Amino acid sequence: MTADAMPAPSHDILAKIKSSAVGLDTEYELATGERRRRVYLDTTASALRLSVVQDTLDHFQPYYSNTHSVLHFGAKLSTSEYAWAHRMVLDFVNADPEHYTAFFVGSGTTGGMNRVARTLRQKRPERDVVVTSIMEHHSNDLPHRKSFPGNVVHVPAEFAKSSIGRVNMERLAETLAEYGERVNYVTITGVSNVTGIINPIHEIARLAHRYGALLVVDAAAMAAHLPIHTSGNADPADDLDVVVFSGHKVYAPGSPGVVVTRKDLFAGQEPQEVGGGMVEDVYTNRYTMLASFPDREEAGTPNICGAIGLAASLYALHRAGMEQIAAEECELITYALEGLARLDGLIIYGETDSSLCRRAGAISFNIRGLEHGLVAAILNDYFNISVRNECFCAHPYVREMITEVLAQEEDDLSDEEIEAMADLHRGMVRASFGIYSTRADADALVEALRQIVARSSEFQDLYTRLPGGDYVHKSFRFDPDTLFSVRGTVDRWLEA
Ligand SMILES: Cc1ncc(COP(=O)(O)O)c(C=O)c1O
């Protein structure tokens, strides 16, 4: 089954989508008393939802029903659209529906990776090692550690000029050669959620397949930014075995996780989660499970609205054209990097020449002498620029990138002193971009950072550092309840 014939991508549709995310125009009152439209540079954490997705969900609500009901009109409609959502996912990642299935899991990429780890451990027990990289989000590390205790090998990042921050391919090849047929799978992020650096996933697939290992791709920070070619590659060894990502990273609400996998990897064993919706027959002393995908992997009532919102977004992105989206975002990231590189006092992590080492989505940096928490707070309070700071759930990579920069700059310190210093100052500021981001957003960031560098002591005096490392303004307070509260909104509706 393939999603029905897809219309060709169009520039006009891309232009329409770009300017229509919910919340692009949200205004806040700043520490200066001025009201301003925010600049949203936190897409890698969660993307704003596209207006077309919201509109689709609003249209769906009157028909919403449980997909496990069968014969009434709403159930038929919900079931058919929910099935279409699965086909859309497969189409979006170019996975052949004959050999691959897509299913939704409860909590984003994290839920998906936990399921994949448990399933592959059970499926291929003789292969007891997982190879991953130091670049990973904890969601693509801890689930594997839990299922393969003591047997997860972390390949370091590259520090040679031209690919600083990418996975070290030489070390990856050595690790695979060392563990050989013990390797169950290699699991790697397609795009770093810290630096935005793109890993060569097809090259890694080829390497892994040489040893009979599988390739699992964490596409959480990739799916919104780059086309994914799961199967049908010129060399079948380049095909990906499993791809996992989350709805909230691709402009959809909520966080359904999606697993796209070769069917044979999940077939022939009891699914990790059992319950309603995935069984054929249940007696008090036995039960038989459905053999068909994706049902057998979706125990319980699924996140129907989450899946439909996600599929709506993927369809809209497809109609806008993922190749074009990737090209335009790459151009924007290069523009932002050039602007940031002109600032004094800024450390940008990873290779900054994007013609040598491509990036998608994110750039992380620090201002020398200012803590990341302070910079993020000032960007918010004085410039209405929303960024993320700290370690982005990728502690090992952040630590390694910071240590490497310190080692280059502080050549009179010992390794221990550098490591202690890196731990003390661990954290970065991350600006991350999406389909709706513009050159004006990048300019606003560069100008704000220029002012922060120029007026650093003035800004420092305005904040108090809390013991945990967060910064609070000495006089300015933001009261979220004045803008929105669930209770207030419900009260207003009830009392209108
Ligand atoms: C690369 C990467 N992997 C995994 C995750 C976890 O995704 P989720 O929070 O949707 O489970 C994230 C989230 O930031 C991510 O960026």
What Cα–Cα distance (Å) separates residue 332 from each residue in 351, 404, 428, 442, 447? 16, 27, 21, 8, 16
Mean pLDDT computed over 346-354: 91
Q: 79 and 43, same structural domain?
A: no
Exposure of 416 by Cβ count < 10 A (0-12 exposed, 13-18 middle, 19+ buried)?
exposed
* C-alpha 427, offset from chain centre: 18
How many residues appear in the chain? 496
CATH of the domain at 436: 3.90.1150.10
Question: Ligand 1 centre and the CA of 383: distance in Å?
Answer: 27
Q: 124 and 32, same structural domain?
A: no
| CA-247 nearest atom, ligand 1 | 10
Question: Three-class SS of residue 42?
Answer: strand
| Calpha distance 290→271 (Å, rounded) | 10
CB-based contacts of 79, cutoff 8 Å, min separation 6? 67, 70
Sign of CA dihedral 391, 134, 44, 444: positive
| 491 lies in some domain | no
Q: Are strands 471-473 and 463-465 parallel, antiparallel or unpaired?
A: antiparallel
| CA-246 nearest atom, ligand 1 | 10
| 490 lies in some domain | no
pLDDT on residue 415: 81
pLDDT on residue 70: 87
User: Which of 265, 295, 319 is a domain's end point?
Assistant: 319
Tokens 């036995």 found at: 286
| 189 lies in some domain | yes
| Calpha distance 285→295 (Å, rounded) | 22
From the CB of 163, is ligand 1 less than 6 Å away? no
Mean pLDDT computed over 292-317: 95
| CA-111 nearest atom, ligand 1 | 11
| CA-45 nearest atom, ligand 1 | 14
Q: 112 and 68, same structural domain?
A: yes
In this predicted structure, the answer to whether residue 46 has a pLDDT above a threshold of 80 is: yes
Percent of the chain past pLDDT 70, that is, above it, reads 99
Q: Are strands 388-390 and 346-348 parallel, antiparallel or unpaired?
A: unpaired
Are the C-beta atoms of 131 and 183 separated by less than 8 Å?
Answer: yes
Mean pLDDT computed over 282-296: 93
From the CB of 354, is ligand 1 less than 6 Å away? no
Are the C-beta atoms of 174 and 204 separated by less than 8 Å?
Answer: no
pLDDT on residue 234: 97
Question: Ligand 1 centre and the CA of 260: distance in Å?
Answer: 16
Over residues 364-414, the pLDDT tens digits come to 999 999 999 999 999 999 999 999 999 999 999 999 999 888 888 887 788
Q: 382 and 267, same structural domain?
A: no
| Calpha distance 24→38 (Å, rounded) | 7
Ligand 1 pocket check: which of 193, 242, 389, 391 to mutate, most ligand atoms within 8 Å of Cβ? 193
User: Which of 284, 319, 354 is a domain's end point?
Assistant: 319
Q: 136 and 74, same structural domain?
A: yes
First to last CA, the chain: 48
Written as one letter, the residue type at 261 is T
Place 75 in a pLDDT band, splitting at 50, 70 and 90: very high
| 396 lies in some domain | yes
| Calpha distance 260→298 (Å, rounded) | 13
Ligand 1 pocket check: which of 137, 397, 398 to mutate, most ligand atoms within 8 Å of Cβ? 137
Ligand 1 pocket check: which of 246, 251, 364 to mutate, most ligand atoms within 8 Å of Cβ? 246
Q: 182 and 296, same structural domain?
A: yes
DSSP letter (8 states) at residue 133: E
Which of the residue ranges 318-327, 336-345, 420-429 would you say has the lowest mean pLDDT?
A: 420-429
CATH of the domain at 181: 3.40.640.10
| 449 lies in some domain | yes
CA dihedral 122, 223, 377, 390 (to 10 degrees): 30
| 431 lies in some domain | yes
User: Which of 293, 319, 345 is a domain's end point?
Assistant: 319
**Number of structural domains the chain divides into:** 2
Q: 456 and 352, same structural domain?
A: yes
In this predicted structure, the answer to whether residue 34 has a pLDDT above a threshold of 60 is: yes
CB-based contacts of 100, cutoff 8 Å, min separation 6? 90, 230, 231, 260, 261, 262, 263
Q: 221 and 139, same structural domain?
A: yes
| 2 lies in some domain | no
- Chain-wide mean pLDDT for the chain? 94
Are the C-beta atoms of 379 and 368 separated by less than 8 Å?
Answer: no
| 1 lies in some domain | no
Q: 102 and 29, same structural domain?
A: no
| Calpha distance 5→2 (Å, rounded) | 8
| Calpha distance 102→244 (Å, rounded) | 9
Over residues 90-141, the pLDDT tens digits come to 999 999 999 999 999 988 999 999 999 999 999 999 999 999 999 999 999 9
Place 1 in a pLDDT band, splitting at 50, 70 and 90: very low
| CA-257 nearest atom, ligand 1 | 10
Q: 31 and 18, same structural domain?
A: yes
**Domain with 226 in it:** 54-319
In this predicted structure, the answer to whether residue 452 has a pLDDT above a threshold of 90 is: yes
| Buried b or exposed e, range 193-219, using 16+ CB within 10 angstroms | bbbbbbbbbbebbbbbbebebbbbbbb
Q: What is the largest CA-CA distance in the chain?
A: 75
pLDDT on residue 3: 55
Q: Which helix (H) or strand (E) holds 82?
A: helix 73-92
Closest alpha carbon to 183 in 238, 128, 243, 117: 128
**pTM, to two decimals:** 0.96
In this predicted structure, the answer to whether residue 297 has a pLDDT above a threshold of 80 is: yes
The first and second tokens of residue 312, run together, are 């709506």
| Calpha distance 442→457 (Å, rounded) | 24
Place 441 in a pLDDT band, splitting at 50, 70 and 90: very high
H-only helix segments in 280-437: 304-320, 322-341, 372-383, 395-409, 415-424
Q: 273 and 406, same structural domain?
A: no
Which of the residue ranges 27-31, 237-241, 413-417 would you say has the lowest mean pLDDT?
A: 413-417
Q: 162 and 103, same structural domain?
A: yes
Are the C-beta atoms of 189 and 154 separated by less than 8 Å?
Answer: no
